[in-house]
Amino acid sequence: METWWKDAVIYQIYPRSFKDTTGNGIGDLKGIISKIDYIADLGVDAIWLSPIFTSPMKDMGYDVSNHRDIDPIFGNLKIFDQLIKKSHKNNIKVIIDQVLSHTSDKHPFFILSRSNKTNPKKDWYVWADAKSDGSPPNNWLSIFGGSAWEWDTSRKQYYLHNFLKSQPDLNFHNKMVQKWVQSTIKFWLEKGVDGFRLDTANYFFHDKKLRNNPALSNKKINSNPYYQQELKHSINQRENLIFMKALRKVTNKYKDIVMIGEIADPKVQAEYTSDNNKLHMAYSFELLRENFSKTLIQNTVLDFFKNSKNGWPCWSFSNHDVPRHVSRWSNSKIHEHNFAKLTCAILLSLKGTPCLYQGEELGQTQTEIEYDEIKDPPGKKFWPIDFGRDGCRTPMVWNKKEKNAGFSNYTPWLPIKKLQLKNAVEDQKNNKNSVLNFYKNFISFRKRHSAFKEKLNFIKHKDLLIFSRGNKVKIVCIFNLNKYQVEVDNRFGYLAKDFPYSNIKINKEKIIIKRYGFGFFKSSEIF
């Protein structure tokens, strides 16, 4: 069975913010098609599209009202077919987001389910009676704030929603729901997609007894109380693993398909990727955190492969849900581009599949969003402690000389601001020292050397992140994540002609690595 995804570089596209061709200020499928040459030139192997399905857009497409059609703001199924065709012609595989744990409250299934307690879809969602005092069935909370239960006056019952109240959870204990989900996966496989990113892959099943979640023993005060509970009964149920096996059997009937599960907990990732019969990859959250250190990176990678001996991780530093990593970690506008190159070199050198988020290849920074510009529900709910996710979702900056930076002829759905304009594609294309060209060159470098498909061994050092890749002939990767210069003995081999380095000085005895410097050395020495 093919494992192309192990060697791939994935590029995440947030369609609303990529390229608008219809003039409504929202990106669309034709916009993605128009930029396939750009994506191919970058050198990535696959694109992952955030949700493009029919939706009221209460949560920007993660509230799906028709899982088998394209929302008109993005296009239609015919245009989607064109996107698949052009991507494949350019040797780019297409992975689509699948939001299966819940639907929109505008979905026909939910409209019927809430109508009464005797309809054909009566138990397709999670319904429960109120307690004797009228309160919700248990203490489960919504990620987006408040109780995970919403009272419905039609059925005179509560329904479960782990996210917005307009996103009711499907009842996966119902076998008909499971069959419908499998048929939906098959529908898109027949359309020619190459894989799925499964949103909240460990949220499908809930505890049938609806037992209360216990409090975390080591809880920290958080702006969102959701994270003060141990989610013992609301998610991560054993039945979920059984269902993943069923989905894997569906995908195994098609050629070269990949399933990537969005799972935050490293231990759960190990379970879901073990034994080659569930997920192909787990999309890790550990490197999307606030802190950035050699210890975090080393421990995250080691822990994954220790706990999941035959599993495979998908690493990201940025995505549509967290502040862009150049802003999140750098804290230095002077060194932003050097830092962007450093993080590119680290991400693409790790054992696992790297996933880049659109604009990351430009060294793009977080956009500051004012309260009256917020579109994201959590941003409105938790402002000003949490500004929401809009700051990482602002439109791609193609050409700062064009109207709205070449993204749209109409006012964009989120603002394009001055700090983001300086990272425009057109300004970087012909600059050999740009972040964009560094990404292109590094992706090419990664593909040229088989060592990046082989072993990874960390090498202990007090100040530097150092590891080797490869079996017999090794590539030694050295990174200075510090804000100060570090010197090491020159014992790691030599810089071959096409090996990248930055902010490094080398002599016979010493390697001097300046702030955010890095280098790749060819060596046959066994570490």
pLDDT at 220 over 70: no
Phi, psi of 69 (to 5 degrees): -145, 160
Question: Which of 262, 286, 376, 390 is labelled catalytic?
Answer: 262
Contact predicate 259/198, CB 8 Å: yes
Each residue of 445-455: pLDDT tens digit? Answer: 999 999 999 99
Position 527 scores a pLDDT of 41
State the pTM of this model. 0.96
Contact predicate 391/323, CB 8 Å: yes
How many residues appear in the chain?
Answer: 527
Q: Which of 25-39, 93-107, 198-212, 267-281 has the lowest mean pLDDT?
A: 267-281
According to DSSP, the β-strands at 474-479 and 510-523 are antiparallel
Alpha-carbon span 295 to 292, nearest angstrom = 8
Q: Which residue has the tokens 């530097």?
A: 464
Question: What sections of 254-376 are H helices per DSSP?
Answer: 266-273, 294-307, 325-329, 336-347
Calculate helix-pair angle for 294-307, 266-273, nearest 10 degrees: 40
Tokens of 218: 């080591």
Rounded percentage of the chain residues whose pLDDT exceeds 70: 98
Alpha-carbon span 475 to 494, nearest angstrom = 10
According to DSSP, the β-strands at 313-315 and 465-469 are unpaired
**Amino acid symbol at 434:** S
Q: Where are the beta strands (DSSP E) in 109-148?
A: 127-128
Q: How confident is the model at residue 290 (pLDDT cuts 50, 70, 90)?
A: confident
Position 525 scores a pLDDT of 56
Question: Which domains, and CATH codes, for the chain?
Answer: 4-101+175-444 (3.20.20.80), 455-523 (2.60.40.1180)
Question: Which of 20, 194, 199, 360 is labelled catalytic?
Answer: 199
Alpha-carbon span 202 to 35, nearest angstrom = 33
Alpha-carbon span 488 to 279, nearest angstrom = 41
Note if 239 is an active site residue: no
Alpha-carbon span 112 to 97, nearest angstrom = 26
Contact predicate 344/357, CB 8 Å: no
Q: Which residues contact 290 (CB under 8 A, 6 or more apart)?
A: 328
Each residue of 40-93: pLDDT tens digit? Answer: 999 999 999 999 999 999 999 999 999 999 999 999 999 999 999 999 999 999
DSSP string, 413-473: SS---HHHHTT-HHHHHT-TTSHHHHHHHHHHHHHH-GGGGS-EEEE--SS-EEEEE-SSS
Q: How confident is the model at residue 221 (pLDDT cuts 50, 70, 90)?
A: low
Each residue of 376-432: pLDDT tens digit? Answer: 887 777 777 777 899 999 999 999 999 999 999 999 999 999 999 999 999 999 999
Q: How confident is the model at residue 526 (pLDDT cuts 50, 70, 90)?
A: very low
Tokens of 169: 């959870």
Separation of CA 340 from chain center: 18
Note if 199 is an active site residue: yes
Q: Which residues contact 471 (CB under 8 A, 6 or more apart)?
A: 451, 454, 455
At residue 49, the 3 state secondary structure works out as strand
